[in-house]
């Protein structure tokens, strides 16, 4: 990793938790090192730093036109996207990272760069189509694959509400949520607490009362006295509409920088 072994998740965490002022020289050095190392990854490379710059501009921590600042990186990431969606095998994490980038860039609404916005949407649609293949494949629901499935579902719950036309993902999203919830209830599936927390946020965010009732059964079957990220979130947020929850709710919990990133980029909680 670059810059004293830090990742883009660490940069975001430092910025949010410690309310650090953005050091533009760090951003410049990050881009330079990523270019030298031909690193296009999200965690340490150009994809992640491009997302972070876009995020900072949208939230008024940097000043500038993101379409102009990120023009060269947009072109590189567009080519990376086409290469990824044309692969025979689907790398779920890479697809999710690219979607995170495009949902952020779409959020940088610019009337002067309509073509860029169109391109971002088209890339987003291509990536969603490939992830739909994963959700519609019964083999994807093997025990070891459930964390990735839950990551997709949390992302879809955000996209359906805030970013894109729900029809692009509705069928695989609905069937997969039903599948996952029923398995947790009937089979007592064991999975890391962080993914239960993500499933909780997915159900809360989409605000489907039927799914919420099923999730409460999962809570009851796992014991309400258990101390964990998901149970703490449940007890703190409870029946509150997730639209009324902000980032301060999440800062009460000791979570790693990647988990914080997942919550910030898959829910509408960032802000005061």
Specify the higher pLDDT residue, 220 or 108: 108
Q: What is the pLDDT of residues 177-215, one digit of tens each?
A: 999 998 888 877 777 777 888 888 899 889 898 998 888
Residue 201, helix vs strand vs coil: helix
For residue 157, give the nearest of 99, 225, 213 by alpha carbon. Answer: 99
What's the average model confidence in pLDDT over 25-36? 90
> Residue 240 in contact with residue 207, Cβ under 8 Å?
no
Look up the pTM and report it. 0.90
Specify the higher pLDDT residue, 91 or 249: 91
* pLDDT value at 16 more than 90: no
Q: How far apart are CA 50 and CA 148, in angstroms?
A: 24
Structure-token match 């964990």, residue found? 228
HSE-CB of 190 using CA atoms within 13 angstroms: 0
Q: How far apart are CA 80 and CA 78, in angstroms?
A: 5
pLDDT at 4: 63
Q: What is the pLDDT of residues 220-233, one digit of tens each?
A: 765 544 445 555 66
> Which of 85-99, 113-127, 256-270 has the highest mean predicted lDDT (pLDDT)?
85-99
Specify the higher pLDDT residue, 60 or 90: 90
Q: How far apart are CA 95 and CA 100, in angstroms?
A: 9
CB-CB neighbours of 241 under 10 Å: 10
């Amino acid at each position: 990793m670059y810059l004293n072994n830090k990742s883009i998740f660490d940069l975001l965490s430092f910025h949010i938790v410690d309310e650090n002022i953005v050091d533009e020289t760090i951003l410049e050095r990050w881009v330079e090192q990523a270019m030298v190392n031909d690193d296009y990854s999200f965690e340490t490379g150009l994809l992640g730093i491009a997302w972070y710059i876009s995020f900072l501009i949208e939230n008024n921590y940097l000043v500038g036109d993101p379409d102009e600042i990120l023009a060269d990186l947009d072109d590189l990431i567009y080519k990376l996207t086409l290469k990824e969606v044309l692969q025979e095998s689907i790398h779920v994490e890479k697809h999710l990272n690219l979607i995170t980038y495009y949902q952020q860039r779409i959020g940088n609404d610019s009337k002067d760069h309509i073509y860029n916005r169109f391109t971002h949407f088209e890339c987003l649609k291509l990536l969603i189509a490939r992830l739909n293949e994963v959700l519609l494949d019964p083999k994807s629901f093997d025990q070891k694959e459930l964390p990735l499935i839950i990551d997709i579902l949390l992302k879809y719950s955000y996209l359906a509400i805030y970013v894109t036309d729900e029809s692009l993902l509705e069928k695989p999203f609905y069937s997969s949520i039903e599948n996952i919830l029923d398995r947790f209830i009937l089979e007592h599936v064991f999975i890391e607490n962080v993914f239960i927390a993500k499933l909780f946020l997915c159900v809360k965010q989409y605000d489907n009362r039927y799914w919420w009732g099923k999730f409460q059964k999962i809570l009851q079957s796992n014991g309400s006295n258990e101390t964990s990220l998901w149970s703490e979130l449940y007890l703190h947020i409870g029946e509150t509409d997730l639209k009324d929850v902000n980032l301060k709710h999440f800062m009460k919990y000791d979570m790693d920088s990647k988990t914080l990133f997942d919550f910030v980029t898959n829910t509408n909680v960032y802000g005061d």
